[in-house]
Amino acid sequence: MIHAFKFLNLDVPTNSYGEPNIYHDHGDAIRGERVTAQYRKISKARLVHGTSSDQIRQAKLEGTVFCIIDKPLRYRVQK
pLDDT exceeds 50 at position 1 = no
Q: What is the pLDDT of residue 41?
A: 95
Under a CB-based contact definition with an 8 Å cutoff, are residues 33 and 74 in contact? yes
Which amino acid type is present at position 28?
D
Under a CB-based contact definition with an 8 Å cutoff, are residues 5 and 18 in contact? no
Q: What is the pLDDT of residue 23?
A: 76
Under a CB-based contact definition with an 8 Å cutoff, are residues 59 and 45 in contact? yes
Q: What is the pLDDT of residue 28?
A: 81
Direct distance between the N- and C-terminal alpha carbons of the chain, in angstroms, rounded to an integer: 31
Provide the 8-state DSSP code for 27. T
Stretch 16-27: mean pLDDT, rounded? 74
Residue spans per domain, the chain:
3-71
| pLDDT digits 0-9 by tens, 28-77 | 888 888 888 989 999 999 988 877 677 788 899 999 888 888 888 887 66
**pTM of model > 0.75:** no
